[in-house]
Structure 1
Amino acid sequence: MTTPSPVTGDLGVARPLIDGSWLDQASLGAADATNPSTARVAGSVVLSGPKEVDAAVAAATAAYPQWRAMSPDKRRRILQRVEELMEERAGELARLNSLETGAPIFMSTLLVQLCAGWFGYYAGWADKLEGATIPPSPAMVPGLDYTVPEPYGVVGIILTWNGPIVSVGMKIAPALAAGNCVVVKSPDLAPFTVAKFAEIALEAGLPPGVLHVLPGGPEAGDRLVRHPDVAMISFTGGIPTAKKILSAASDTLKPVLTELGGKTASIVFPDADLDAATTEVARSFCNLAGQGCNLTTRLLVHRDVYDRVVESTVAAATALRPGDPFAAGTGLGPVINAAARERILGVIERAGKDARLVAGGHAADPASLGEEVRDGFFVEPTVFADVDPASDVAQNEVFGPVLSIIPFGSEEEAVAIANGTVYGLGTTLQTRDSSRVQRLVPQLQSGSVNVNGSSTQPPGAPFGGYKYSGSGREGGREGLYEFLQTKNVFIRI
C-alpha cells in the first residue's frame, strides 16, 4: 500500500487571535483555503474585518504599558523561548508553509530556520537598547544632553502571502524586542503558518494583548492603517497596495515601512565562473515558483560569453523538476492560485512576440507532475533570450518562474540596464575581478549587492530597497530601530 504524500494533508482552520483568545467567528464570515499544489480545498479561514481590528487595537493599547514596563531581560527571555519552540516545532511549521504556499519542503524548512534565527537575534537586542550623550556646545547653557530610544506603542504589520513566515521574523521579532505591541493582518491566502507561530508565541510566555493576528483582506488592512491608535505600519507587498496604504496613513501622519517589489539583475562578466553563475540564477528565479521580490529575474550577460550562458542557463532551469513540494528532487512548486497562473501565462504569451523563448512557456504537463498534484497550479521554468531591456517582461515584476536574458557589451551598458527600472532591491555581480566590483558597487541603485552568489540573509544584515522597491530596512540593527523613536532629553546644570 502506497503512503499518501503529506501534500494531501489538512490545513485546519485559521482563526483570529485577539487578546489571547481565538475567535471561531468574525464579522466577514469564513472562506475556503485551497492547496495550490492540489487545487483542492484543504482548510478554512475565519476572516477579520474592521470590527476585529478595533478590538485588537484596543486590547493592544491596554496591554502596552505593562509590556513596555517589563524588564528588558524578561522580554529577552520570552523571545529566546519563542526561538527555542520554533526550532522544536520546525517540522510542523514547515509542513504548513508548504501546504499553503506550495514551496518545496526544503525551502520551507530553511524559511522557518531563518525566522527562528531572527527571533534569537532580536531577543539579544531587547536588553541592549541604548541612547547616547550629546557633547555640550560652548554657545549653549551648561547641561546634560542625552537620547532615549522608545517604542512607538501599537504597530500594525501587514504580511504578504508568498513568504509570511519570513516576515514574521523580520517584522514581528524586532517590533516586540523594541517594546511595541503588535497587530498583524495576515494574508487570507496563506494565514496558517502565521497562526501557528502565534500559538507558539503564547506558549513561550508572550502576555495576552501583546500580539494579535487577524486573517483578512483589504477591509481589515485599511482599518488597521487608518486607526488613530496605531502608531506606525510595516507592510510587505506590491506597489499599488503600498500607494493606497501611504495615502490612508496620511490621515494620521503615521510612518510606514514598505518592502515592495524588485527586478533583480545578475550581471555576468566573461571572467566569472559561468557554470556556478547559471546554476545560481536558475535556482533563484525558480525559488518560490518565482514569487519573491528579490529573486533574479533578469540575467545580463556579456556578449563574449552570451551564447554559452544562454545554453547553460536553459539546461540548469529545465533540470528543476516541478511537482509535489514534499517529494525529494522537486525543484519547483506551484504558483499561489489559478488566477496567478493565468496572469503569468499571459505575460509569457505577450513576451514571446518580441523575445526568443528558449525554455518553458506553458503550464506544466499534468502527466509529469504525479497523480496527487496533477491539478495544481504549476508553470514551467520559462527563459527568454534576446530580451529588450525596455520591454514589459524586463521592466515589470512577473511574480512567476520567468527569466529574461539580456546581452551587454561594456560595464557602463550593464550598469545602465541594471539601473533602468523603477525598482532597486538587489543586484548580483558575477566576476572574479575585485577592482571591477569596487568600481560598480557605488554605481548600482539597489539596496543590496551580492558578488558571485546570493546572500542567505543573516539576521544581522539589513534588507530593503531603493526607488519603488520601498523605504526603510528590515533585519539587523537598522530593522530594530525602524520600530523605535528617539527622544532627546536636556537637563540644565
Structure 2
Amino acid sequence: MSDTYATNLERAQRYLERFRNNTTGHYINGEFTLGNGGKEYDNITPTDNTAIGKIMAGSTDDMDAACKAAEDAFEAWAATPGAERKRLLNKFADRLVERADEIALVESMDCGQAVRFMKKAAERGAANFRFFADKAPEAQDGLALQQQEHTNFTVRKAIGPVGIITPWNTPFMLSTWKIAPALAAGCTVVHKPAELTPLSAYILAEIADEVLPKGVWNMVNGFGESVGKRMTEHPAIKAVALVGESATGSHVMRQGADSLKRMHFELGGKNPVIVFDDADFERALDAVVFMIYSLNGQRCTSSSRLLIQSGIRDKFLAALEQRVRNLKVGHPLDPDTEVGPLVHTEHYNKVSSYFDIAKEDGANVAVGGKRITEASGALDPAGNYLEPTLFTEATSRMRIAQEEIFGPVLTTITFDTEEEAIAIANDTDYGLSGYIWTENTGRAMRMAKHVEAGMLWVNSENNRNLPSPFGGIKMSGIGRDGGDWSFDFYMETKNVCIAHGTHRVPQLGKG
C-alpha cells in the first residue's frame, strides 16, 4: 500500500465516521431532519459492498414540507438583488474549495469513482457556482427590439421553486451544475439526490445551511417512486431538471404533465467517436481510451462506440487493445487506480450481462469481458470490479452497439466511407454527443453538420466550456444547460411593447 493511498484511506474513514454513526436524513426549511414516516436503508460502498451508514428514505410528507418551504422562501429570494446573490454564491464556492479533500474522498467511497478524477470535483463544482454567481446580476436582463412606432423590450424573472433530480455517476459535480444556475436566476430549490450516492448532497446541504437563507435550498433523500414522484407532481414546483436514464425522463414527463411543468432532461447516450485514416493517431488513441474508461465508463458523454476507418483499423485496434490491457483497476482511493468499482451490484450485473450478449450476437471479446474475483493490491473482490472490456467485429445493429451499457466497455465498428460513418453514427435512438477525429477541415465541417448529436467535439475529448450549450437530442434529452441557456430554463421571459404615440389605432363603432 502506497503512502498516498494509506493517507487517503485514513482521511476517508475520518470523514465517513459521522455518516457511519448517524442516520443521514434531509435538509428542509433550514433544518436537518429525519423527517416523518420514512424508512432507513443501508448506504453501500461499491469498494466491498459493505454499509457505510444508514440513509433515511423520505416520505411524501417530507417532500411536501420541502416544496412548501421552497414556495414560502421564493418571493424573498427572487427579490434579492443579483449582486447579493452573486456574493452568496461566491461564498458558497469558497466553502466548496475549503472542503475539497472531504468531498473527493467521500464521493470516491460513495460511488466508486477513482479519486484522481474526484480530486477535481470540488474545483469544478466551485467553478460552476462562480460562473453563475457572476451572471446573477444580469440574469433578468433581456433584449431591446425596435419598430418604427413601437419599442419592445424583454425582461426575465425566476420561474419559481424548481425540482432538481441528480444521478449517481458524478453526483456532486452534476448537482452543482444544475443548482447553481437555478439559485443565480432567483429560484428556490428542492433537491432529490440519487438514492445510491447521497453523501455529497448532504455536504452541499451543510454548506447551504451556512450560506443561504432558510428555505432557499431543500434536500430530501429517498426513492424515485415515492419522493421523486411527489416532487414532479407537486403544484408548487414549476420546473424539473433531471439527469438520468431516458426511461426515467419518460416517467417524469408523464408525472409532471397534469401541472404542465417545464422540463429539462439530460438523459442517456450511445455516443460515437469516429476516427478517420488521416487522424492524429496518438492523440486520437489517447482520447478514445480516456472518454470511455475514465469515470468507470459511467458518464453520459462517454464515447462508447468507436467507429474506425478500415485503412487504419488493424493498427489502431492493436494499439487500443494494449492500452486497455494496461488499465489499472483498483480501489478508488488508490492514486494509481484508473478504473474503480461500479456503483452498485445491480448495475454491475447489468454491465457484465453484456459480455454474454456480445458473444451471442457474434462480436469478439478482444479484451476483458470478465468479473474480477481475486484480490489484487487494495482491490477487494467483494467489490463491484470488472475488467475493462473491448468488443471488436461488431455491427451497428447489435445490442452492444445500440444499448447504453454505462460501464468500462467499448464497442468497435469498422467503416469505409464518410457517408457510411454518418449512417452508423446516427443509427441509434440517442443523440447526446459525438467525437470526430480527422485532419481534413472540410470533412470535419461536413461531419459536424450531419452527425445527429447535441454536442460534437472535433479532434478533442470532452472539453468543458461553461458558456456553451450542453444537452442532447432524440432520446438523449430536452433543453440545454450552460451560459444563458440555463437562465432560459429557470426564468420566464416577459415582453413589454411601448407605443411612441404616433401609430394609428384602429377605430370601431364611430358610425
TM-score for the superposition, normalised by structure 2: 0.92
Kept after mapping to 1: 8 A contact 2:291/2:462: no
Alpha-carbon distance in 2 for matches of 1:285, 1:465 = 18
Alpha-carbon distance in 2 for matches of 1:350, 1:470 = 27
Alpha-carbon distance in 2 for matches of 1:32, 1:116 = 30
Cα distance, 1:136 vs. partner? 2.5
Kept after mapping to 2: 8 A contact 1:384/1:405: yes
Q: Which residue of 1 aligns with 2:233?
A: 226
Cα distance, 1:333 vs. partner? 0.7
Kept after mapping to 2: 8 A contact 1:73/1:126: yes
Q: Which residue of 2 aligns with 1:131?
A: 142
Q: Which residue of 1 aligns with 2:106?
A: 96
Q: Tell me, what secondary structure is at the counterpart of 2:221?
A: strand
Equivalent AA in structure 2 for residue 471 of structure 1? I
Equivalent AA in structure 1 for residue 366 of structure 2? V
Alpha-carbon distance in 2 for matches of 1:317, 1:119 = 36
Cα distance, 1:196 vs. partner? 0.2
Alpha-carbon distance in 2 for matches of 1:112, 1:369 = 28
2:33 pairs with one of 19, 23, 26: 23
Tell me whether 25-34 or 62-71 shows the greater mean CA deviation: 25-34
> Does residue 362 of the first structure (1) align with residue 370 of the second (2)?
yes
Residue-pair matches, total: 487
1:335-377 Cα deviation digits (max 9, x unpaired): 1111111111111111122101100001124222536x33110
1:17-55 Cα deviation digits (max 9, x unpaired): 000100134422211101101211111111112111110
Q: Which residue of 1 aligns with 2:9?
A: 6
Alpha-carbon distance in 2 for matches of 1:143, 1:269 = 54
Cα distance, 1:5 vs. partner? 5.5
Cα distance, 1:167 vs. partner? 1.7
> Does residue 276 of the first structure (1) align with residue 279 of the second (2)?
no
Alpha-carbon distance in 1 for matches of 2:325, 2:293 = 10
> Does residue 315 of the first structure (1) align with residue 318 of the second (2)?
no
1:50 pairs with one of 36, 43, 60: 60
Kept after mapping to 1: 8 A contact 2:373/2:382: no
Over 3 Å counting, the alpha-carbon distance change for 1:369 and 1:452 in structure 2 is farther
Q: Tell me, what secondary structure is at the counterpart of 2:193?
A: strand
Equivalent AA in structure 2 for residue 434 of structure 1? T
Q: Tell me, what secondary structure is at the counterpart of 1:173?
A: helix
> Does residue 465 of the first structure (1) align with residue 465 of the second (2)?
no
2:115 pairs with one of 101, 105, 113: 105
Q: Tell me, what secondary structure is at the counterpart of 2:219?
A: strand
Q: Which residue of 1 aligns with 2:163?
A: 156
Kept after mapping to 1: 8 A contact 2:62/2:220: yes
Over 3 Å counting, the alpha-carbon distance change for 1:27 and 1:259 in structure 2 is same
2:271 pairs with one of 264, 268, 275: 264
1:273-422 to 2 correspondence within 5 Å? 273-353=280-360, 354-370=362-378, 373-422=380-429
Over 3 Å counting, the alpha-carbon distance change for 1:169 and 1:438 in structure 2 is same
1:407-431 Cα deviation digits (max 9, x unpaired): 0000000011011101111111111
Equivalent AA in structure 1 for residue 9 of structure 2? P
Equivalent AA in structure 1 for residue 59 of structure 2? G
Cα distance, 1:144 vs. partner? 4.1
Over 3 Å counting, the alpha-carbon distance change for 1:247 and 1:200 in structure 2 is same
Kept after mapping to 2: 8 A contact 1:283/1:317: no
Greater gyration radius? 2
1:389-443 Cα deviation digits (max 9, x unpaired): 1110100100111100100000000011011101111111111121211121101
Kept after mapping to 2: 8 A contact 1:298/1:405: yes
Cα distance, 1:276 vs. partner? 2.3
Alpha-carbon distance in 1 for matches of 2:213, 2:7 = 39
1:212 pairs with one of 187, 210, 218: 218
Cα distance, 1:201 vs. partner? 2.4
Q: CA RMSD in A?
A: 1.6
Over 3 Å counting, the alpha-carbon distance change for 1:5 and 1:74 in structure 2 is closer
Alpha-carbon distance in 1 for matches of 2:87, 2:181 = 14
Alpha-carbon distance in 1 for matches of 2:468, 2:8 = 37
Over 3 Å counting, the alpha-carbon distance change for 1:223 and 1:402 in structure 2 is same
Q: Tell me, what secondary structure is at the counterpart of 2:307?
A: strand
Cα distance, 1:303 vs. partner? 0.5
Kept after mapping to 1: 8 A contact 2:196/2:344: no
Q: Tell me, what secondary structure is at the counterpart of 1:366?
A: coil
Tell me whether 282-291 or 240-249 shows the greater mean CA deviation: 282-291
Over 3 Å counting, the alpha-carbon distance change for 1:365 and 1:452 in structure 2 is farther
Q: Which residue of 1 aligns with 2:45?
A: 35
Structure 1 moving runs of 4+ over 4 Å: 1-5
Alpha-carbon distance in 2 for matches of 1:22, 1:286 = 37
Kept after mapping to 1: 8 A contact 2:115/2:333: yes
Alpha-carbon distance in 2 for matches of 1:443, 1:214 = 42
Kept after mapping to 2: 8 A contact 1:26/1:47: no
Q: Tell me, what secondary structure is at the counterpart of 1:417?
A: helix
> Does residue 66 of the first structure (1) align with residue 73 of the second (2)?
no
Cα distance, 1:318 vs. partner? 1.7
Return 5+ residue gaps in structure 2 as ranges: 502-511
Alpha-carbon distance in 1 for matches of 2:195, 2:176 = 19
Cα distance, 1:453 vs. partner? 2.0
Cα distance, 1:146 vs. partner? 1.7
> Does residue 479 of the first structure (1) align with residue 479 of the second (2)?
no
Equivalent AA in structure 2 for residue 361 of structure 1? G
Q: Tell me, what secondary structure is at the counterpart of 2:164?
A: strand
Alpha-carbon distance in 2 for matches of 1:274, 1:14 = 49
Alpha-carbon distance in 2 for matches of 1:98, 1:344 = 20
1:50-95 Cα deviation digits (max 9, x unpaired): 1111101111111111101111100110001111111121111111
Equivalent AA in structure 2 for residue 116 of structure 1? A
1:236-255 to 2 correspondence within 5 Å? 236-255=243-262
Kept after mapping to 1: 8 A contact 2:189/2:217: yes
The percent identity for this pair of structures is: 32
TM-score for the superposition, normalised by structure 1: 0.96
Q: Tell me, what secondary structure is at the counterpart of 1:37?
A: coil
Kept after mapping to 2: 8 A contact 1:322/1:369: no
Q: Which residue of 2 aligns with 1:190?
A: 197
Cα distance, 1:165 vs. partner? 1.3
> Does residue 75 of the first structure (1) align with residue 82 of the second (2)?
no
